A and B are shown apart, each in its own frame.
Chain A
Amino acid sequence: MQHVISVTVENKPGVLARVSSMFARRDFNIHSLTVGPTEDPKRSRMTVVVDGPEMEQIVKQLYKLIHTLKVVEHVPGEAVEREIMLVRVNAEAQRRGEILDAATIFEAKAVDVGAQTITFEVVGEPSRLADFLEIMKTYGIVSLVKSGRIVLAKDTKSATKKQRKSA
């Protein structure tokens, strides 16, 4: 099962290594991990998408890291999830029209056009990115890069599953 966890940490050297090694030590496979600044420059927020049966123990272990301030496991549907991807697809001259039509539906932006390929930028919910990729597969995907998911709980505080920090 996939879980999405937000970890707010002090912005200190090495903190990314501590968090990622915590998952590695428990033999959890990280699907994606993003890290970046927050509204407070002293804090960073990581969004970790991870496969595993249940997260209670890892959440507690994350709290044990001295630099961890807050850990939230998101409830599906109760968080805003976004991802960005760049995907380069084969686009021979005679198929360009249909490819661009499909792209319009997904609000995919052509950001680079070559002799044989077009590169699209797609932003949105992970499912939308997946759907677009599915369609592009028929033309042939040359290369693909994804940002990893970023997630913010919806502003219905009581609805998110939160763990209080106690040590």
Chain B
Amino acid sequence: MSEQLTGADILIRALEHEDVEIIFGVPGGAILRAYDSLYDSSIRHVLARHEQGGGHMAAGYAHATGRVGVTFATSGPGATNLITPLADAYMDSIPVVAITGQVGSRSIGLDAFQEAHTWGISMPATKHNYLVTQVDEIASTIREAFHIASTGRPGPVLVDITKDALIGKAPWRGPGQLDLPGYKPSVKGHPRQVTSAIEMILGSQRPVLYAGGGIIRAGASEELLAFATQQNLPVVTTLMARGAIPDSNPLTLGMSGMHGTYTASTAMQRSDLLVTIGARFDDRVTGDPALFAPEAKVIHVDVDPAEIGKIRNADIPIVGDAKAVLGQLIEAGERALEGAPAPERSEWFSTIAAWQRDFPLAYDQQPDRPILQQYVIDELSKRTDADTIVIAGVGQHQMWASQFWGFEKPNTWINSGGLGTMGFAVPAAIGAQAGMPDTTVIAIDGDGCFQMTFQELITAAVEKIPVKIAVMNNANLGMVRQWQKIFYDNRYSATELSSSIPNIVMLAEALGCAGLRAESPEEVVPTIEKALAINDRPVVMEFVCDPDAMVFPMIKAGGSNDEILMGPEDL
């Protein structure tokens, strides 16, 4: 008879078969047996201080490495604490597998200690989820979970396993089999659609390539650059796609939308063709969809057919993986051009160049004025190499990071774009650093966001994961304050934080990190240099910033992208 293993041993062995190298999590009663089996495994476990942290770490790891991130939590509160990171990963299509313990199958529904209906709660926050009650279902469920998380449009998958399934015994029959007759993600695009797309592109006068996070997930950056170059297309990236094409490339117009560059937003608005790849016409990009890019035809490439036509009708829909379809487009483009150069579109490019000249992204750091976040971000960007991974929280600092960091490579920009989860940056940076130990990882965080999850710096210090955190201390929930200034007549209801509490430098030291502070512009560069020289533990840099600075350009929520506010004078 073959060797009998416990469900927990099978779980860990199945994870080893998926080449899992690291798990972020917190143990507890219902998942204890799994942790006992993990004790004998070579898989590293990072003990988070909160399951939300563990979940964002797994996402940060996945985002930075392109691999599936794994997180463990116990039943009840452990599982409910995971919901925010799961919803976050779902919105941003990040492959994460969450394993949660569940009470024994005979106690389900009886309000047992630490029972929560994890399957039901997590269903709308995941791409798929499972409740496993039988030991012999564990191996195949893990195989399916990793397959679903990492293929098609990636996303989080939760596997809830009852205590009795973890304790029960079964033989190891090898990694499980896939049994998913209803799940067949498309890879290649329809060849005829691809050919029509090239014809439409060649016939367009004012095309824009609208590149979304799907490019990053598909690992299609090289193809994107090759295709944009071949067809001579200006490229706009969404927030999620920063780094998909080098910012230094002259075709790159930057981010579009609510806080995008004037040029990127206006080019889309005036274009006659949006070549949309792996993007989803998010409201932060389009403003009022009825007023968005009124003259543009749309080619829409997406691996998820439900994205096509969801917000904006597509003239040419192409369902497929961004990398595969870009490959097809490049081939079809080559055939159509027959060695001739791509259309020059000189009028379009000179219009774009004029916008770039007249409406650049800029800031003015006066030496005797408070520190501007843009200045800090600019200096950080200049003083680090192109491989540096930047993670942002949610708020003004996030928008400035996207605007003022010079991205040259994919997967160097990690942020919570879809859900907009404050508290994402610190744990996501830890996950990214754990997956990329030889790369500099810098989180740019707001003081509000930082106070949501800074306890994970304890994890970083104890586990020797030397992330660098730049806390932009403007003593306010800055982005909300900006809206109150613009839309609520300067009535600052519940947005003021304290500039001195907590003392961030002392706090950093207490958490086992190095703490540094810059209070004036001339202290910025020395602080950055000091921080970059510390590599044996996490570093927190506090930058005491101007609370009144506002993010521009700005398009009002639900407004028209024709009305771009360029500065306070436009209010």
Question: A69 and B181 in contact (CB under 8 A), knowing A61-B306, A167-B304?
Answer: yes
- Which residue of B152, B182, B305 contacts A10 across the interface (Cβ within 8 Å)? B182
Instruction: State which residues 302-348 of B face A: CB under 8 Å.
Output: 303-306, 309-310, 319
Are B131 and A13 in contact, with the CB atoms below 8 A? Answer: yes
In the bound assembly, the distance between CA atoms of A21 and B126 in angstroms comes to 13
- Which residue of B148, B153, B180, B305 contacts A63 across the interface (Cβ within 8 Å)? B305
In the bound assembly, the distance between CA atoms of A10 and B153 in angstroms comes to 21
Q: Describe B's contact surface by its main secondary structure.
A: loop
In the assembled complex, how far is the CB of residue B147 from the closest CB belonging to chain A, in whole angstroms? 10
Question: A56 and B309 in contact (CB under 8 A), knowing A14-B131, A167-B153, A167-B319?
Answer: yes
Q: Is B128 at the interface (CB under 8 A from chain A)?
A: yes
Q: Chain B residues near A25: list those with CB within 8 A.
A: 124
Q: Describe A's contact surface by its main secondary structure.
A: mixed
Question: A69 and B319 in contact (CB under 8 A), knowing A25-B124, A64-B304, A167-B305?
Answer: no
In the bound assembly, the distance between CA atoms of A98 and B148 in angstroms comes to 62
Q: Is A137 at the interface (CB under 8 A from chain B)?
A: no
Chain B residue at smallest Cβ distance from A24: B124
Q: Is A94 at the interface (CB under 8 A from chain B)?
A: no
| 1/0 contact string of A6-32 vs chain B (CB within 8 Å) | 000110011001100100010000000
Chain A residue at smallest Cβ distance from B303: A167
Question: A165 and B124 in contact (CB under 8 A), knowing A14-B131, A60-B306, A64-B306?
Answer: no
Q: Is A152 at the interface (CB under 8 A from chain B)?
A: no
Q: Is B119 at the interface (CB under 8 A from chain A)?
A: yes
Residue from A9, A25, A63 having most chain B Cβ neighbours under 10 A: A63
Q: Is A57 at the interface (CB under 8 A from chain B)?
A: yes
Q: Chain A residues near B305: list those with CB within 8 A.
A: 60, 63, 166-167
In the bound assembly, the distance between CA atoms of A64 and B305 in angstroms comes to 9
Q: Chain A residues near B181: list those with CB within 8 A.
A: 10, 69
Tell me how many residues of A have a C-beta within 8 Å of chain B.
22
The interface stretch among B183-191, B293-301, B373-381, B526-534 is B183-191
In the assembled complex, how far is the CB of residue A161 from the closest CB belonging to chain B, in whole angstroms? 16
Q: Is B120 at the interface (CB under 8 A from chain A)?
A: yes
Are B306 and A21 in contact, with the CB atoms below 8 A? Answer: no
Residue from B128, B182, B304 having most chain A Cβ neighbours under 10 A: B182
Question: A66 and B182 in contact (CB under 8 A), knowing A14-B119, A17-B123?
Answer: yes
Q: Chain A residues near B119: list those with CB within 8 A.
A: 14
Q: Is A68 at the interface (CB under 8 A from chain B)?
A: yes
In the bound assembly, the distance between CA atoms of A57 and B307 in angstroms comes to 9
Are B123 and A167 in contact, with the CB atoms below 8 A? Answer: no
Are A166 and B319 in contact, with the CB atoms below 8 A? Answer: yes
| 1/0 contact string of B470-487 vs chain A (CB within 8 Å) | 000000000000000000
Chain B residue at smallest Cβ distance from A65: B182
Are B319 and A63 in contact, with the CB atoms below 8 A? Answer: no
Instruction: State which residues 89-134 of B face A: CB under 8 Å.
Output: 119-120, 123-124, 127-128, 131
A residues with CB within 8 A of B? 9-10, 13-14, 17-18, 21, 25, 56-57, 60-61, 63-69, 165-167
Complex A-B: 26 CB contacts under 8 Å:
A9-B182, A10-B181, A14-B123, A14-B131, A21-B123, A25-B124, A57-B309, A61-B306, A63-B305, A63-B306, A64-B306, A65-B182, A66-B127, A66-B180, A66-B182, A67-B182, A69-B181, A69-B182, A165-B182, A166-B184, A166-B305, A166-B319, A167-B152, A167-B183, A167-B184, A167-B303
B residues with CB within 8 A of A? 119-120, 123-124, 127-128, 131, 148, 152-153, 180-186, 303-306, 309-310, 319
Q: A66-B182, A167-B152, A167-B319 are in contact. List 10 more A-B contacts (CB 8 A).
A: A14-B119, A17-B123, A61-B306, A66-B127, A66-B148, A66-B180, A69-B182, A166-B186, A167-B183, A167-B185
